[in-house]
Amino acid sequence: MKKTPLYEFHALKGATFDTSSGWLIPKDYGNTLQEYAAVREGIGVFDLSHHGKLRLTGKEHLKFLQGMLTNDVLKLEPGKGVYACLLTAKGKMVTDMKVYRNSDSVLVELEAGLNEKIKELLLRFRLSFKASIEDLTESVALISIQGPKSQKLLELILSEQIPELKEYEFIKRDLDGTEVLIARVNRTGEPGFDIFIPSDTAPRVWNLLLDTKEPDLNPRPAGKQALEILRIEAGIPVYGIDMDENTIPIEAGLWHALSFDKGCYIGQEVIARIRWRGHVNRHLVGFEIEAKDIPKRGNRVIIDEREVGYITSATFSPFLQKPVAIGYIRREFREAGTRTLIKLDSGELIPASVTSLPFFSRNQI
């Protein structure tokens, strides 16, 4: 089992651990709800170093990626990023990713455990393109700070006012003697930043973030369980949980991952045909549960005694004070307010209503 560069620091903070794609990661630090509240009210600090990270370089690395991904990477200026998908020829998802353009390279961030698979796939399709692909998963750590006060914390440790960044835009700064990449990323419905840093210096940055003496900030480490509640409330689907190799991006509502004017890429014909002449048969939606029970992944959604969908993620929402879920439903039932039943593992049917996503967004309150 692999350990992140911050494993010892998590253990010292009293973390209990869980596994994710062969990595030991913090499940919680003793109180998931307090970790959740830290993000909603101030700052939570997450170790996401187990996420996959690839670097592409070479004379034609952008041109190569442009023909592989659903979004437009050629138009990106250095310092900007984009969310994109890699598809099969049938328009089904192989993975989603965040793509960050540097002046002479591209950094790609993936869900945990996908780095080797995606690197091999890219190498297979590289053909004559002058592009190199390097796996940085173990050599580069990833720390994410999330919450309404996250920018204040960054500015405190950088001793400067940072520019207002749009989603996936990034800056590079010297932090405690090491160059780091800081990207604006929403993982929780709150303002947030991802910090990419060499693994051997990650502990120093982790301590810098958590040891601030500013009483108004009070950042605290947060684990996998808190992040799961937060991202479900924010309506953010995760590949491997809410999306898989049978998912078309439009089904999951990933319109922001798609460019319709960039030209050809793998699966582009299917996506264009759906947009211009057709539709998908299912949509990712939210469900507000009208019972105390929390459904499990795979539980079926029932209308008029027939299955019309299924649950992919569920949790108790502290924000709404009720159980909520994310899942797929047939397109004719996707309208907010549609009444459904969810069939639990026990066979019990509990009432739920379809709702639009997200359940929570800082911009909505």
Is residue 277 over pLDDT 90?
no
Q: What is the secondary structure of 111-172 as a DSSP string?
A: -TT-HHHHHHHHHHHHTT---EEEE-TTTEEEEEEESTTHHHHHHHHHTSPPP-PPTT-EEE
Q: Is the pLDDT of residue 185 over 80?
A: yes
CATH 3.30.1360.120 boundaries in the chain: 2-49+138-233
Question: For residue range 66-105, what is the model confidence (pLDDT) as tens digits?
Answer: 999 999 999 999 999 999 999 999 999 999 999 999 999 9
As a whole number of Å, the end-to-end CA separation of the chain is 41
Buried b / exposed e across 156-194, counting CB within 10 Å, b at 16+?
Answer: bbbeeeeeebeebbbbebebeeeebbbbbbbbbbbbbbb
Fold classification of 281-364 (topology level): Elongation Factor Tu (Ef-tu); domain 3 (2.40.30)
> Quick check: pTM over 0.85?
yes
Q: Tell me whether strands 44-47 and 140-146 are parallel, antiparallel or unpaired.
A: antiparallel
- pLDDT tens for each residue of 226-237: 999 999 999 999
| Topology of domain 53-135, CATH | Alpha-Beta Plaits (3.30.70)
- How would residue 276 be classed by pLDDT, with cut points 50, 70 and 90? confident
Angle at which helices 32-41 and 224-233 pack, to 10 degrees?
50
- pLDDT at site 362: 81
According to CATH, where is 3.30.70.1400 located in the chain? 53-135
Q: What is the DSSP string of 312-357?
A: EEEEEETTTTEEEEEEEEEGGG-STT-EEEEE-TTS-EEEEEEEPS
Q: What is the CATH number of domain 2-49+138-233?
A: 3.30.1360.120
Positions of CATH 2.40.30.110 in the chain? 281-364
Can you give the pLDDT at residue 364? 59
**How many C-beta atoms surround the C-beta of residue 307 within 10 A?**
11
**The pLDDT of residue 25:** 98
Could you report the per-residue pLDDT of 98-143, keeping only the tens digit for each?
999 999 999 999 999 999 999 999 999 999 999 999 999 999 999 9
Quick check: 365 pLDDT over 60? no
